[in-house]
């Protein structure tokens, strides 16, 4: 066995993601919301991690991403950053700008993006929307923060879209998506998430990496919500998700086994128990009027 110290792993940057696209190497991205999952996703070899505002649904239990706040994104971003730091993670880290932080004013948007970087550990921020956000994106990029765009099904616009529905199915809407993609690239986006749109649309040539979710195989990379790819929610089975494990079932089984052993008093066993050669317990004499406040069972 070699005792050579391991060289620290180099963190991937947006330049690496661009190089991967140019070399025809696919980019694998997954979400993570806490330090443990960030470490596991990174150890699995993901090139990029997204702290998505999908955490509002899969972590907080809301029925949309709309209630997620900037403070919460900073909290989860920083947790993921610490998880990657402890395990010398290499995955590039993007954190979502939540609803309400970039729509009202460009100054607010720049300030929010800077906090996600300074306090939330982000190396890039992601925001949803098309050409109408070009100026916001220009200003954030000018402040030194890489921006990932997100078009197609944009969950923060769920009410405007009339639900979580596939976008760009007719040619007018498809053309609008293509011109949005070009506008976002021209505004300085370093990558683009394409969510739930016909696979034909992602064949379009853009010279920034495209990361698809429900956008077919032609994108430069793919992103999935980690809970979905691990099969944590047995009831959630959208067409675009492939479950690479069924951990929801495994967790229920494991907890069931634990509950059973506690109920049968077979856990903890000898190997889970501590002992002391010097420990003596004070016995409380039968019927003795000992003050209940006195320590009984303490070392003597
Ligand atoms: O919030 C999120 O997790 C996302 C991905 C699904 C792209 O935006």
Q: Report whether residue 226 contacts ligand 1, using a CB cutoff of 6 Å.
A: no
Q: Ligand 1: which residue has its CA nearest to atom 3?
A: 52
CATH architecture of residue range(s) 14-229: Alpha-Beta Barrel (3.20)
Does any ligand 1 atom lie closer than 6 A to the CB of residue 196?
no
Q: Measured in angstroms, how far is the CA atom of residue 24 from the centroid of ligand 1? A: 23
The helix or strand, by DSSP H or E, that contains position 36, with its residue range, turns out to be helix 35-43
- Residue 274: other Cβ atoms inside 10 A: 6
Q: Which atom of ligand 1 is nearest to the CA of 50?
A: 3
Q: Whose CA is nearest to atom 8 of ligand 1?
A: 52
- Choosing from 225, 228, 229, 232 the residue with most ligand 1 atoms within 8 A of its CB, the one to mutate for a pocket test is 225
Let me know: does 195 contact 206? Beta carbons within 8 Å: no
CA dihedral over 291, 292, 294, 299, signed as positive or negative: positive
Q: Tell the residue nearest (CA) to atom 5 of ligand 1.
A: 52
Structure confidence by residue, pLDDT tens digits, 65-112: 999 999 999 999 999 999 999 999 999 999 999 999 999 999 999 999
pLDDT digits (tens, 9 = 90+) for 136-150: 999 999 999 999 999
> Which pLDDT value is given to residue 22?
96
Q: How far is the CA of 55 from the centre of ligand 1 (A)?
A: 9
The pLDDT value given to residue 203: 87
What is the percent of the chain with per-residue pLDDT over 90, rounded to a whole number? 86
Q: Whose CA is nearest to atom 2 of ligand 1?
A: 52
50 lines ligand 1 (CB under 6 A): yes
| Pair 188, 207: CB distance under 8 Å | no
The torsion angles phi and psi of 149, rounded to 5 degrees, stand at -85, 170
Coil/strand/helix, residue 221 = strand
Task: State the distance from the centre of ligand 1 to the C-alpha of 225, rounded, in angstroms.
Answer: 7
With cut-offs at 50, 70 and 90, classify the pLDDT of residue 234: confident
Distance, in Å, from the CA atom of 250 to the CA atom of 8, rounded to the nearest integer, reads: 34
Token digits of residue 208: 């920034």
Which sequence positions are flagged as catalytic?
A: 195
Looking at residue 280, what is its pLDDT?
83
Task: Tell me the CA–centroid distance for residue 64 and ligand 1, in Å.
Answer: 12
**Structure tokens belonging to residue 77:** 């971003």
Q: How far is 211 from 47, CA to CA, in rounded Å?
A: 12
Q: Encoding tokens for residue 71? A: 């403070």
Q: Is the pLDDT of residue 3 over 70?
A: no
Torsion on CA atoms 163, 164, 168, 169, rounded to nearest 10: -90
Give the residue carrying structure tokens 């300074």: 118
Is the Cβ atom of 127 under 6 angstroms away from ligand 1?
no
Atom of ligand 1 nearest to the CA of 54: 1
Q: Contact, 121 vs 173, CB < 8 A?
A: no
Please give the pLDDT value at position 300: 47
Q: Ligand 1 test: best mutation among 34, 49, 51, 52, most atoms within 8 Å of CB? A: 52
Contacts of 282 (CB under 8 A, 6+ apart): 295, 296, 297, 298, 300
Q: What is the CA radius of gyration of the chain?
A: 25
Contact (Cβ atoms closer than 8 angstroms) between residue 80 and residue 121: yes
C-alpha–C-alpha distance, residues 5 and 215, integer Å: 42
Q: Model-level pTM? A: 0.92
């Amino acid at each position: 066995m070699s005792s050579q110290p391991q060289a620290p792993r180099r963190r991937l940057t947006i330049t690496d993601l661009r190089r991967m696209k140019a070399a025809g190497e696919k980019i694998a991205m997954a979400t993570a919301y806490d330090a443990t999952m960030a470490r596991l996703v990174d150890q699995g070899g993901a090139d990029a991690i997204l702290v998505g505002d999908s955490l509002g649904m899969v972590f907080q239990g809301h029925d949309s991403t709309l209630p997620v706040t900037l403070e919460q994104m900073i909290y989860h971003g920083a947790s993921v950053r610490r998880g990657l730091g402890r395990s010398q993670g290499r995955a590039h880290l993007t954190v979502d700008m939540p609803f309400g932080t970039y729509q009202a004013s460009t100054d607010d948007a720049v300030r929010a993006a800077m906090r996600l970087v300074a306090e939330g550990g982000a190396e890039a921020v992601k925001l949803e929307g098309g050409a109408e956000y070009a100026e916001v994106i220009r200003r954030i990029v000018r402040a030194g923060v890489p921006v990932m765009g997100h078009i197609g099904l944009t969950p923060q616009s769920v009410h405007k879209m009339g639900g979580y529905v596939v976008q760009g199915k007719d040619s007018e809407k498809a053309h609008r998506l293509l011109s949005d993609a070009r506008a976002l690239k021209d505004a300085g986006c370093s990558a683009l998430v394409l969510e739930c749109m016909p696979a034909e649309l992602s064949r379009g040539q853009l010279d920034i990496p495209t990361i698809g979710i429900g956008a077919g195989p032609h994108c430069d990379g793919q992103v999935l919500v980690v809970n979905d790819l691990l099969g944590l929610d047995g009831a959630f089975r959208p067409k675009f998700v492939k479950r690479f494990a069924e951990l929801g079932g495994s967790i229920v089984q494991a907890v069931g086994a634990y509950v059973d052993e506690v109920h049968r008093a077979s856990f903890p066993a000898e190997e889970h128990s501590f002992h002391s050669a010097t420990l003596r317990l004070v016995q409380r004499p039968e019927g003795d009027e000992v003050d209940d406040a006195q320590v009984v069972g303490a070392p003597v």
